[in-house]
Amino acid sequence: MSPAEAQAHKAEIEAILGLGEALGLNQGLPYTRHWSAAPDFLALLVEHLRRERPAVIVECGSGLSTLILARVCAIDGRGLVWSLEHAPNCAAQTRDALARYGLARVANVLDAPLRRYRLDGEAYDWYDLIGLPSRAIDLLVVDGPPGSLGPLARYPALPLLRARLAPGCTIFLDDADRPDERAIVARWCAECPDLMLNRPATERGCAVLRCPSQGASEAL
Ligand SMILES: C[S@@+](CC[C@H](N)C(=O)[O-])C[C@H]1O[C@@H](n2cnc3c(N)ncnc32)[C@H](O)[C@@H]1O
């Protein structure tokens, strides 16, 4: 690791510990360098939860973000999280962290093995949605599956979940500065022109897309 990388890593850990402390998460965090959501992305999510108070939160890719989302929901007394996770070891780690903080009633980590979908003639490996309750989603956080699975690995989130998005639903996409994620956002916006796109400045890039408040399902 170069000195600059080491400095950036140290700053990231300090920011995550600070976020954890602010939320009373003092018994360890399921943090993994390169894999956990970045602290500035997590801070934006916390801000969104506090402002919008979403009732139903669905996440693609569990871990530190699941714990943070669950903790804010528990503190604020509003919101339930369903996190789709394809890797059993990651699901177990996230469940352990949730249990340690007494948050298992607020967040469910769903075992969601990847299965093959065909969308517009292209094949994608994406989460099996069999365990996801059919409740309208107010907040969708897209931080999985890993981009290494193939081109546009996170693209299916919108086409496969859009019929379940509540009016005014907000979608947060992490790592949005990567070429793949840029292409995904461009495709989502082309396919759903009513989505309102914001790109708050974060270290790894973030895209926030908002569905229209009324008739979202029809408009999308
Ligand atoms: C970007 S990570 C999701 C991170 C999660 N949202 C968080 O904040 O911790 C996307 C997926 O990568 C996988 N993953 C997490 N840590 C990993 C590791 N150390 N090695 C390989 N895959 C990992 C998990 O399946 C996870 O759902």
Statement: residue 73 has pLDDT above 50: yes
| Cβ atoms 189, 195 nearer than 8 A | yes
Instruction: Give percent of the chain above pLDDT 90.
Output: 90
- Residue to mutate (ligand 1; options 25, 35, 93; most atoms within 8 A of CB): 35
CATH class of domain segment(s) 3-219: alpha beta
The whole-angstrom separation of Cα 93 and Cα 102 is 14
> Does the beta carbon of 181 lie inside 6 Å of ligand 1?
no
Higher pLDDT, 4 or 77: 77
- Residue to mutate (ligand 1; options 90, 173, 202; most atoms within 8 A of CB): 90
Please tell me the predicted confidence (pLDDT) of residue 216. 43
Please report the sign of the dihedral spanned by the C-alpha atoms of residue 85, residue 89, residue 92, residue 97: negative
CA distances from 192 to 12, 88, 160, 207 (A): 34, 33, 13, 15
| Cβ atoms 152, 180 nearer than 8 A | yes
Please tell me the predicted confidence (pLDDT) of residue 34. 87
DSSP 198: E
Please tell me the predicted confidence (pLDDT) of residue 215. 52
Task: Name the residue ranges covered by the structural domains of the chain.
Answer: 3-219
Which residue type is seen at 53?
A: R
Residue 191: Cβ within 10 Å count? 14
DSSP, collapsed to helix, strand or coil, labels residue 219 as helix
Ligand 1: centre distance to CA 218 (Å)? 33
Ligand 1: centre distance to CA 187 (Å)? 24
101-152 tens-digit pLDDT = 999 999 999 999 999 999 999 999 999 999 999 999 999 999 999 999 999 9
DSSP, collapsed to helix, strand or coil, labels residue 134 as coil
> Does the beta carbon of 176 lie inside 6 Å of ligand 1?
no
Of ligand 1's listed atoms, the one at least distance from the Cα of 144 is 10
Please tell me the predicted confidence (pLDDT) of residue 144. 97
Residue nearest to atom 5 of ligand 1 (CA): 63
Confidence of residue 220 (pLDDT cuts 50, 70, 90): low
Please tell me the predicted confidence (pLDDT) of residue 139. 98
Mean pLDDT over each residue of the chain, to the nearest integer: 95
> Does the beta carbon of 83 lie inside 6 Å of ligand 1?
no
Statement: residue 69 has pLDDT above 50: yes
Which residue type is seen at 19?
A: L
The whole-angstrom separation of Cα 30 and Cα 32 is 7
> Does the beta carbon of 39 lie inside 6 Å of ligand 1?
no
Statement: residue 46 has pLDDT above 90: yes
Relative orientation angle of helices 3-22 and 39-52, to the nearest 10 degrees: 20
Of ligand 1's listed atoms, the one at least distance from the Cα of 174 is 1
Q: What are the residues facing 142 on neighbouring strands?
A: 60, 173
168-194 tens-digit pLDDT = 999 999 999 999 999 999 999 999 999
Ligand 1: centre distance to CA 92 (Å)? 12
Residue nearest to atom 10 of ligand 1 (CA): 144
